[in-house]
A = this chain, B = another copy of it.
Amino acid sequence: MSETGDGPGRSSGGVAFLLAQLGAHAAALFAERIARLDLTPAQAGLLRMIAVTPGLSQQAYAKRLGTPPSRFVILVDAMQDRGLIERRPGQPDRRSYALHLTEAGQHLLRQLGAVGKAHDDDLCAALTLEERVTLRELLTRVAQQQNLTAGVHPGYRQPSDT
């Protein structure tokens, strides 16, 4: 209601603020939804990443996700224990493992896709179909110009307080 001067499209927030606010909201809502599939956002991200590019080494995935190897191991452990992914012995380098989805993992991935679609629909409930296409197009352009690689986004960093 009471902001500074009106630049291009300001007055009640600014695009950056709206993006941060809606981004946090979307992420929180998504986490809530996939919790019903017993998945965390990180697990869902890895599931999708392996589906898109299977057979890489753990380090390769960890690097793409921006996760340190130590953190990545427990992520893989949990998903392997649940039978969602498997570690196949590396060829020819026996130090490394190649990660692949199991049958169960592929099944869960399909469920995840449905959940993601519903999530998207809910979030865009305020928009017409045309507006929604427009929004997606604008956001895509911004993301590209900002050099954000499609497919993965970094886990939210916690802004410190002290």
- Asked if A22 and B155 sit within 8 Å, CB to CB, the answer is no
- Asked if A153 and B28 sit within 8 Å, CB to CB, the answer is no
Q: Among B4, B7, B138, point to the contact of A127 (Cβ < 8 A).
A: B138
Copies in the complex: 2
What are 30 of the A-B contact pairs (CB < 8 Å)? Answer: A7-B117, A7-B120, A8-B121, A8-B124, A8-B129, A10-B120, A13-B136, A13-B151, A14-B117, A15-B120, A15-B135, A16-B119, A18-B143, A20-B23, A20-B27, A20-B30, A20-B153, A21-B143, A22-B139, A22-B146, A25-B146, A40-B160, A40-B162, A75-B161, A123-B146, A135-B135, A135-B138, A135-B139, A135-B142, A156-B159
What is the CB-to-nearest-CB distance from A49 to chain B, in angstroms, rounded to a whole number? 12
Add 13 more A-B contacts to A9-B133, A18-B139 (CB < 8 A): A9-B129, A9-B137, A10-B117, A10-B120, A15-B123, A15-B136, A16-B29, A17-B26, A18-B136, A20-B30, A22-B142, A71-B161, A124-B142
Give every chain B residue within 8 A of A136 (Cβ-Cβ): 9-10, 13-15, 18
Q: Among B16, B117, B139, point to the contact of A120 (Cβ < 8 A).
A: B16
What is the CB-to-nearest-CB distance from A82 to chain B, in angstroms, rounded to a whole number? 12
Q: Known A7-B117, A125-B145; judge A19-B12 contact (CB<8 A).
A: no
Q: Is A42 an interface residue (CB 8 A)?
A: yes
What is the CB-to-nearest-CB distance from A87 to chain B, in angstroms, rounded to a whole number? 18
What is the CB-to-nearest-CB distance from A13 to chain B, in angstroms, rounded to a whole number? 6
Q: Is A78 an interface residue (CB 8 A)?
A: yes
